[in-house]
Copies of this chain bind each other. A is one copy, B any other.
Amino acid sequence: MQPVHYDVCEQRCINPERIDRTRRDMSSHEDLAGLAGIFKMLGDLTRVRILEALSIGELCVCDLAAALALTQSAVSHQLRLLRAARLVKYRKDGKVVYYSLDDDHVTTLFKQGLEHVQQG
Contact of A109 among B11, B12, B19, B112 (CB under 8 A): B112
Whole-angstrom CA separation of A51 from B68 in the bound complex: 33
Q: Within the complex, what minimum Cβ distance (angstroms) separates A82 from chain B?
A: 13
Q: Are B36 and A52 in contact (CB under 8 A)?
A: no
Whole-angstrom CA separation of A70 from B117 in the bound complex: 29
Q: Are A31 and B117 in contact (CB under 8 A)?
A: yes
Residues of B within 8 A of A116 (CB): 38, 103, 105, 109
Residues of B within 8 A of A42 (CB): 35-36, 39, 43
Contact of A35 among B22, B71, B113 (CB under 8 A): B113
Contact of A63 among B15, B31, B65, B117 (CB under 8 A): B15
A77 within 8 A of B: no
Q: What 1/0 flags go to A1-13 for Cβ under 8 Å of B?
A: 0010000110111
Q: Are A40 and B38 in contact (CB under 8 A)?
A: no
Q: Which chain B residue has the least Cβ–Cβ distance from A111? A: B112
Q: Within the complex, what minimum Cβ distance (angstroms) separates A43 from chain B?
A: 3
